[in-house]
């Protein structure tokens, strides 16, 4: 049995991704950063906006709210790509909520990375993940970062079980009323200085649950967020790019 496992591992070889030293090309069906044609006909923009299940499109300004968007692709389908077309670019994270209102241009995350965060957490970053009413999609894709392909710990970033051992929290889910107290207690248990990351449409804006009285439309209303990672769920590479760019 032991020799069989060793033989299998030798045959498999080294499978860990070389990202960020080498680029990764995602499949064409992956829906990443949208490309917006601001010159498209107004009626097409209004058609997309009226059918957007997340009310994420402003037809007058021809913008899309990345924190509300669940990347379903309906707008691309309705406009036949003439208004919005999703690219393969997975670099979506921002630090300012105003940057979530996307008009086709987005400032590079490294411009807004805080030097003292890099100094404090550049060599070692411990995160406590809090699922505040999520559907487990965001949580599952965060777990993927611990698989041999991504091997998150090689960058000195780890998920920890206790908030007292953490440098910050990464929140998923819309923050249900039942989870509000647990989230705040977890945050309070983390030693200063600490960081807050909102991962996924739900944690940023409430996602498909926005407006429901049993949740709080994301973490922004109760804690100051340092980093927003859009997606539904965010691709593991979106999260990895955000963490490496912001903290390393």
Residue bearing tokens 């647990």: 182
The span from the CA of 96 to the CA of 99, in Å, is: 5
pLDDT, the chain, mean: 91
Contact 145, 152 (CB under 8 A): yes
Determine the pLDDT at residue 14.
77
pLDDT digits (tens, 9 = 90+) for 87-100: 999 999 999 999 99
What confidence category does residue 10 fall into, taking pLDDT thresholds of 50, 70 and 90? confident
The span from the CA of 227 to the CA of 118, in Å, is: 14
Is the pTM here over 0.95, yes or no?
no
Determine the pLDDT at residue 139.
95
Choice among 25-39, 59-73, 116-130, 213-227 with the minimum mean pLDDT? 116-130
Q: What is the average per-residue pLDDT within 209-237?
A: 94
Determine the pLDDT at residue 79.
92
What's the CATH number for 110-247? Answer: 3.40.50.12280
The span from the CA of 189 to the CA of 187, in Å, is: 5
Neighbours of 144 (CB within 10 A): 16
Please give the C-alpha separations between residue 239 and each of 116, 142, 174, 215, 247, in angstroms, as whole numbers: 20, 8, 18, 24, 12
Predicted confidence (pLDDT) at residue 111 exceeds the cutoff of 90? no
Token duo for residue 64: 């899309």
Predicted confidence (pLDDT) at residue 122 exceeds the cutoff of 80? no
Q: What is the average per-residue pLDDT within 46-73?
A: 94
The highest-confidence range among 16-25, 102-111, 119-128, 155-164, by mean pLDDT, is 155-164
Contact 56, 64 (CB under 8 A): yes
The span from the CA of 145 to the CA of 54, in Å, is: 28
Report helix, strand or coil for 248: coil
Residue 84 falls in which region: left (phi positive, over 0), alpha (psi -120 to 50) or beta: beta
What confidence category does residue 106 fall into, taking pLDDT thresholds of 50, 70 and 90? confident
């Amino acid at each position: 049995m032991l020799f069989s496992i060793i033989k299998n591992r030798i045959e498999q070889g080294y499978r860990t991704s070389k990202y960020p030293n080498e680029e990764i090309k995602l499949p064409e069906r992956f829906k990443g950063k949208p490309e917006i044609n601001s010159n498209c006909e107004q009626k097409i923009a209004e058609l997309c906006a009226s059918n957007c299940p997340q009310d994420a499109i402003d037809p007058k300004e021809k913008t899309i709210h990345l924190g509300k968007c669940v990347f379903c692709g309906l707008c691309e389908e309705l406009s036949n790509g003439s208004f919005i077309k999703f690219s393969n670019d997975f670099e979506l994270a921002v630090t300012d909520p105003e940057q979530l209102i996307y008009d086709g241009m987005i400032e590079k995350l490294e411009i807004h990375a805080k030097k003292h965060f890099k100094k404090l957490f550049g060599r070692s970053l411990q995160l406590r993940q809090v699922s505040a009413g999520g559907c487990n999609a965001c949580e599952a894709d965060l777990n993927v970062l611990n698989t041999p392909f991504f091997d998150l710990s090689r960058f000195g970033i780890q998920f920890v079980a206790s908030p007292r051992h953490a440098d910050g929290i990464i929140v998923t889910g819309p923050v249900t009323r039942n989870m509000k107290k647990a989230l705040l207690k977890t945050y309070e248990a983390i030693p200063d200085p600490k960081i807050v990351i909102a991962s996924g449409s739900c944690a940023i804006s409430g996602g498909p649950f926005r407006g429901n009285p049993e949740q709080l439309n994301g973490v922004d209303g109760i804690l100051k967020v340092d980093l927003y990672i859009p997606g539904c769920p965010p691709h593991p590479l979106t999260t990895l790019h955000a963490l490496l760019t912001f903290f390393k």
